[in-house]
Copies of this chain bind each other. A is one copy, B any other.
C-alpha cells in the first residue's frame, strides 16, 4: 500500500495522489483505504511514520567529522535519488498539514537518534561539553537541504563532505553551545585566543 503511495507520488505528484488511484494501484479496496487513511494527508503521514519504524542508527566511524560525513552521505543520497521519493515527500509537506507534521516528527526522531554522534565526540574529547546535538546536526545537514531542495542547485557530492568538515571544525572550536573562543588560525597555528 505504502509502496503504491510512494510510486503514485513520484510519478504523478501530489495532485495525482488520490485515495482511489492508490486503491487501484495497490489492489486494496477503496472502502478499506478510506476507512483506514481517510485522505491523502493520512497516506503520506503513514509513509513517513513507516520510515520511523526501522532500526536505523547513525554510523560510528570513530570521529565526529567521519560520522557527519556518513550522515551527510545518506542525506545527499536521499535528496538526489531516483525516483525522487524524499524530494516528493518534502514537496508534499507544503500541500498537506498532516504530511508536514509527519515529516517534522520523522526528522525529530532522526535527530534524536543522531544525538549519540555528538555524545561520542564529547566523550572522545573531540568537542567541548556543552555542544547542543540538534543545533550541531542541523548545521551539518541544513546546507544540503538548502542547496538541493530550496535552491535547486546541481547535485555535487562536495556539498556533503564540505558541510561535514565545516561543522566538525566549528564544533572543535566550541561552536553549537560550547565555549566559543576568538581563535585566529593562520598557517595552522592559533594566533589569538579569548574566551567569549
Chain A residues engaging chain B, CB cutoff 8 angstroms: 90-91, 93-94, 100-101, 103-104, 107-108, 125-126, 128, 135, 138-139, 141-143, 145-147, 149-153, 162-163, 165-167, 169-170, 172-190, 193-196
Contact = CB atoms under 8 A, between A and B. Distances in A.
A158 to B, nearest CB: 10
Contacts of A184: 125-126, 172
18 contacts: A93-B150, A101-B152, A103-B151, A104-B152, A108-B151, A128-B185, A139-B143, A162-B177, A165-B180, A166-B170, A169-B174, A169-B183, A172-B184, A172-B185, A179-B186, A180-B185, A188-B193, A188-B195
A138 B188 CA distance: 25
A187 B195 contact: yes
B173 A169 contact: yes
A179 B188 CA distance: 7
Contacts of A165: 175, 180
Nearest to A194: B188
A100, A151, A170: most-surrounded residue (chain B CB, <10 A): A170
A142 B166 CA distance: 14
Given A152-B104, A166-B139, A185-B183, A173 B176 contact: no
Contact of A146 (B142, B176, B178, B187): B142
B175 A170 contact: yes
A38 B158 CA distance: 38
